[in-house]
Amino acid sequence: MAEKQSILIVEDDLDLAEMLNAYFRVQGYDVLTAAWGEDAVRISQENTPDIVLLDIRLPDIDGYEVCRRMRTQRRTENLPIIFLTERRDRIDKLQGLELGVVDYITKPFDIQELRLRVRNALRRASLESLVNPVTGLPEGKLVDEQLDKLVKATGWTLLAISVQGIGSFREMYGFVAADDVLRAVSLMINNIVKEIGGEEDFVGYMKNLGLPHPRKIDVAVPANLRCGRPQHDQTEDIDPSWAPLTYTFGGVWEIAPQALEEAAGKVLIVDVREPDEYAGALGHIPGSSPVPLGELELRAAEIARDARPIVTVCRSGARSAQAVAILQRAGFRNVANLAGGMLRWRAEGHAVEGGRE
């Protein structure tokens, strides 16, 4: 099954945002939503989507400024953006096109037309992005083609290399420094292959190993999938049977909101946001315990050491990924991060206490 494509919907009309959220989820997309421009910029850096539907009129900064900021960031500089707006003036459209938006649709719009425009924009983007902009390595369809050849052939070896802890490094030193690390590692690998490899050797970039092939690879070359892991990797320490978990490229176990809701009562939920956030607009998950990230290391002893797994929560999933590492250092064994944080939890319609509609 192919990896789902993701859409970030930036719209302050909550009824329209909810309708678009529900519609595109039914169409098979993963959907993130934001009602404020600042939130949209932050989400696009933390969980970069495949496409953005962006309203021009927003409560804080307008859509033009959101687009302008996205275009200045390496991760989103080529991200396809479609403007949704009530403005019909030629000057407004020209201003958007100057910022590099790929399409412009005025309200009220036909939802089927919007779906087709999104599909076409994603197809154009996929044809352009055959090389990863950070590592410079082939990705996407080029990697798929190579893997298809391998699983049908014999006499080959696959080496899967991941950079452990890159997520925590990114949180501490920023996206630019983390990208520089990935670029340097990719350059070293390429140079080694050129020096001692053959003409048939191939180096590519697999995004989060989120392709349909790894199960086949796991059967064909299980030993290679162990290469590069520390001797005492946390993937061996945790018991993921308590819930369906995903091991991220940053080295953190994550649980999806739906899976967490189904495990309610069987897990301990630790919310690491600041007190004003915990009681703020997004609300909090019923039964969660607030322990701010800055206090977590000192207050780890307050957390119950029973048989229950721990799930850490924050606004978007970035700080709570750090919390996972802190709790593991404190000796907690079964710890996972809530994927997408409270933003995704709310967007998917799960229960909250407090907050504003």
Question: CA-CA distance, 69 to 55, in Å (whole number)?
Answer: 15
Predicted confidence at residue 207, as pLDDT, reads: 62
What average pLDDT does the structure give for the chain? Answer: 81
Check: pTM over 0.85? Answer yes or no: no
Predicted confidence at residue 127, as pLDDT, reads: 65
Q: 125-128: long-range contacts at Cβ-Cβ below 8 A with a sequence spacing of 24 or more?
A: 125/50, 125/51, 125/78, 125/80, 128/78
Predicted confidence at residue 239, as pLDDT, reads: 57
Predicted confidence at residue 33, as pLDDT, reads: 93
Burial status of residue 291 (CB atoms within 10 A of its CB: 0-12, 13-18, 19 or more)? buried
Q: Domain spans of the chain? A: 6-128, 141-226, 234-347
Burial status of residue 285 (CB atoms within 10 A of its CB: 0-12, 13-18, 19 or more)? buried
Looking at domain 234-347, its CATH architecture is 3-Layer(aba) Sandwich (3.40)
Q: 6-128 adopts what CATH topology? A: Rossmann fold (3.40.50)
Predicted confidence at residue 88, as pLDDT, reads: 65
- DSSP assignments along 207-238, one per residue: GGG-SS-HHHHHHH-TTGGGTT--TT-HHHHS
Q: Which residues contact 156 (CB under 8 A, 6 or more apart)?
A: 150
Taking only the tens place, the pLDDT of each residue in 81-135 is 999 887 666 776 677 777 778 888 888 888 999 999 999 988 887 766 677 778 8
Taking only the tens place, the pLDDT of each residue in 121-154 is 888 877 666 777 788 888 777 787 887 777 777 7
Predicted confidence at residue 210, as pLDDT, reads: 41
Predicted confidence at residue 291, as pLDDT, reads: 93
Predicted confidence at residue 225, as pLDDT, reads: 38
Q: Which residues contact 22 (CB under 8 A, 6 or more apart)?
A: none
Which residues of the chain, if any, have pLDDT below 70? 1-3, 87-89, 92-93, 127-129, 207-240, 249-251, 357
Predicted confidence at residue 259, as pLDDT, reads: 92
Question: CA-CA distance, 176 to 188, in Å (whole number)?
Answer: 18
Q: DSSP E strands: which ranges in the chain?
A: 6-10, 30-34, 51-55, 81-85, 103-106, 245-247, 253-255, 268-271, 289-290, 310-313, 335-338
Q: Which of 1, 53, 2, 8 is nearest to 30 (CA)?
A: 8
Predicted confidence at residue 212, as pLDDT, reads: 40
